[in-house]
Structure 1
């Protein structure tokens, strides 16, 4: 709706910065031509692009329309608090700048289930639209009684015209931009039946390997399980319970790390879990504020990047900084070590995993590698400096292992039984790899490349 907006106040899904609408042609992020150039460059580098899809609502209608509605209790949306009213809601979408290119669908009040503004009475209130087959979707989060309504003009995903248009859009944009997947914004606010149908449709008609991440934001792991069941495990979901643990432990003195994965999605549904430490919504002052203290971020990232299970997601702001001058190293998380952890995941985080979660303030794990990758040993401290004795394998007897994070200059010698005593500094992480493997990979040279120049 707003040319300066981030895209969550969505107006026209088919306008990628191509048409003169809402006061501008380009979006905040640029024109369609620039978007297509970005896609070509990403694909050239072997990078798949995931689209952030806002399918829950629309904003910025051209004109209000008259219809009947009933006011509901914002804390209990199934509870009506007024008699049926005639209201004027902003639900008329004609897309005059685009016309009928890509889609002839025009949106009107029948295509929505709720609004939060009556332009006739000049009153802000959540209104449920009345009409044939009209109600809140039943297959959404039960928070606030029913959490179908989130903001703006809430789409009715049970309406056949809405379904047809959104399914068409999903195929169109995936093919047009050669997308690898989508993040479904506000997944707990719109029909899981439609989400399942949407994913299946795009996979069948555009990309059989389409990746879908559902932003189902809740710390209740059972609720996430229920969501995944309803979409027949066609999507992944963000491991919010793990993020909450990271946040809570990071603000605790000498936190006990032994149960850090208890009750998390990556523990119970590892193939469907997207693990993360921060994103745009978790920052202080944002809607889903769940900050992880800077002193704990290296530990958190090591746990999601180097272990089995889950699909890790790194926050851009943690790699490059989130202030105006992103070249300022002080704004980067983890002492700038995130690129090294990412490379360690790519090169060494393979094979069976053996955990050493036997001390409250010092845990460790070993990835034993495979035929093509030598594996690694990782030690984490949430207290003072410590050591962890861990089994690497008899085949590594008498070999030296190096801390690729650079916090320890001395190497660790593996004994004849295949064990090593791996140190870690206070409130820190050490990642140990065979010195021979590091030398063969020219790893230190790779790690010294300044990725911030790209």
Structure 2
């Protein structure tokens, strides 16, 4: 038996008014995390103006070619999954695909680590040489897992021409694949409490000598040794695996890191000492160098909860100053399902910085698992996008949460269309689409792409603009209207249900009276006629989404189904 959810909200949104001057003043004079919300049921997309300014400035001040026809809505893609094809073909695929990505509405791509890892078959998180982008014969060959430096630079340039900026995945927590062992004093620590030493100091042989024989002194003369690290997890002398804290003058774990396991400075491999002056200088130089060398427009920082917060703050400020762009986009992976921890990190970093909305991902996971038992009105609870929308990069899944990986927490595929509607078609946050959801995932647990995800992205590109009018009076069925703006006047109405068939009575404006609207996804058949009062009833199927747009709206012919 099909249950119909009668979900509607008769409250009338306040009258339209001219806010352009006020918005300009707000953008120029308020903290970045402030978002203007009306006391009624609509929200003004202040974050879109800020993000537009942010990304446009990043493009101009890095002397990139002009990005043509960039839509006002910015959308990122994580352009890889853990099992994406390596063999040196990935940069070429990105170059080839960038036109399709730009056409559908992708405006930026977070690329996998482009730097030399301990093996040419590694995804790149076991970092060996930051200054080798696939240029030197090291660790089994010249290319990285993803391709050569020449292919990388060419792909980034091609993507720019297609309206897609790129972000570098900066792996600054550790180094791997050392060229030699060194003897030094260390103590073993309790893996559950890294502040607790469980042995006296003794000599161990650790893999901490990095001489980079393939690169030599090109780009950087620093040869890394044990003084540049705080810990390792292997004593080659005693053939013992443990967490070893390296001894030295003033050397200890970083203080401004996650408090998990007592102190979560140490994660893996040879842990970098971010207080060492030679390390700070070399990494700062690399940050400026790689942007200029590659043509990229920003950073995604890996594993920042394991890196001294003061180092990340000064690194970001240093690179922005050297590049001459104080709005260079930076986002960090602080993977912790705790709003308080994320807010504290952003508040104390000392400069604007975005974080991935880990709590939102886990809300999506819970919603997908619980089905109709989950109250969709609580989907934003405890999230960064609700608390600090200008600092939130929203996501559904990533390479760590996919099946078989270290943080596996895969969102139920049946729920994913709802999740993508929530991050792509509303106002707040900077959405990041996962490669595995657009192309599918490989490995031992292959996953199919999300059905018609490209259409969701296109809907964001063409229709998700203007005031947001929310209709959230039912636990299973949510609806909202985007009223459109001067450049994108069509707008859209979105209805989703995590239970049975549902519908929402929503207002799209008297000026649209008599118009016929259809579901651009083609998942709900029929048409909706807008009443003389500007209201209409918009339906959706059970556990599904419908995106309603005027049947003759601009660019409707770019969608797969109608």
Q: Of the candidates 263, 280, 291, which is equivalent to residue 399 of structure 2? A: 280
1:147 paired residue number: 264
Deviations 1:292-341 (A, max 9, x none): 111100000000000111110001111111238xxx9x8211x2x11111
User: Aligned ranges for residues 73-84 of structure 1 at < 5 Å?
Assistant: 73-84=190-201
- Using the alignment, how far apart are the partners of 1:201 and 1:165 within structure 2? 12
Q: Of the candidates 330, 335, 346, which is equivalent to residue 461 of structure 2? A: 346
Contact 1:272 1:310 survives alignment (8 Å): yes
Deviations 1:3-36 (A, max 9, x none): 1000000000001111111121111111112112
Contact 2:385 2:391 survives alignment (8 Å): yes
Contact 1:52 1:185 survives alignment (8 Å): yes
- Using the alignment, how far apart are the partners of 2:410 and 2:279 within structure 1? 37
CA RMSD of aligned residues (A): 1.4
Q: Of the candidates 474, 491, 504, which is equivalent to residue 388 of structure 1? A: 504
1:224 paired residue number: 342
Q: Of the candidates 214, 224, 232, which is equivalent to residue 332 of structure 2? A: 214
Establish whether residue 40 from structure 1 lines up as the match of residue 157 from structure 2. Answer: yes
2:112 paired residue number: none
What runs of 5+ residues in structure 2 fail to find an aligned partner? Answer: 1-117
Establish whether residue 55 from structure 1 lines up as the match of residue 168 from structure 2. Answer: no
Contact 1:305 1:342 survives alignment (8 Å): yes
Q: Of the candidates 261, 264, 279, which is equivalent to residue 380 of structure 2? A: 261
Establish whether residue 168 from structure 1 lines up as the match of residue 280 from structure 2. Answer: no
Q: Which structure is higher in RCO with an 8 Å CA cutoff and minimum separation 6?
A: 2
- Using the alignment, how far apart are the partners of 2:371 and 2:380 within structure 1? 19
Q: Of the candidates 408, 417, 428, which is equivalent to residue 309 of structure 1? A: 428
State the shift of 1:413 in Å. 0.9
State the shift of 1:233 in Å. 4.7
- Using the alignment, how far apart are the partners of 1:266 and 1:101 within structure 2? 43
Contact 1:233 1:272 survives alignment (8 Å): no
2:82 paired residue number: none
Instruction: Decide whether aligned partners of structure 1 residues 233 and 385 sit closer, same or farther in structure 2, where only a CA change above 3 A counts.
Output: farther
User: Aligned ranges for residues 285-300 of structure 1 at < 5 Å?
Assistant: 285-300=404-419
State the shift of 1:223 in Å. 0.4
Establish whether residue 410 from structure 1 lines up as the match of residue 522 from structure 2. Answer: no
In terms of mean alpha carbon deviation, does 255-264 or 204-213 score higher? Answer: 204-213
1:356 paired residue number: 471
State the shift of 1:232 in Å. 2.7
Contact 1:213 1:235 survives alignment (8 Å): yes
1:202 paired residue number: 319
- Using the alignment, how far apart are the partners of 1:145 and 1:351 within structure 2? 46
State the shift of 1:207 in Å. 5.4
Q: Of the candidates 486, 500, 523, which is equivalent to residue 371 of structure 1? A: 486
SS of structure 2 residue aligned to 1:24? coil
Contact 1:68 1:84 survives alignment (8 Å): yes
Contact 1:273 1:310 survives alignment (8 Å): yes
SS of structure 2 residue aligned to 1:66? strand
SS of structure 2 residue aligned to 1:354? strand
SS of structure 2 residue aligned to 1:198? helix
Q: Of the candidates 127, 130, 152, which is equivalent to residue 247 of structure 2? A: 130
Establish whether residue 447 from structure 1 lines up as the match of residue 556 from structure 2. Answer: no
- Using the alignment, how far apart are the partners of 1:293 and 1:233 within structure 2? 36
- Using the alignment, how far apart are the partners of 2:401 and 2:160 within structure 1? 29
- Using the alignment, how far apart are the partners of 2:302 and 2:461 within structure 1? 28
2:363 paired residue number: 245
- Using the alignment, how far apart are the partners of 2:410 and 2:448 within structure 1? 15
SS of structure 2 residue aligned to 1:91? strand
Establish whether residue 271 from structure 1 lines up as the match of residue 384 from structure 2. Answer: no
Q: Which runs of 4+ in 1 moved over 2 A?
A: none
Contact 2:494 2:547 survives alignment (8 Å): yes
Contact 2:187 2:202 survives alignment (8 Å): yes
Deviations 1:131-158 (A, max 9, x none): 1110100001111111000000000000
- Using the alignment, how far apart are the partners of 2:297 and 2:480 within structure 1? 32
1:400 paired residue number: 516
Deviations 1:214-241 (A, max 9, x none): 0000001100011111223521101110
Contact 1:73 1:81 survives alignment (8 Å): yes
TM-score (norm 2): 0.76
What runs of 5+ residues in structure 1 fail to find an aligned partner? Answer: 450-454
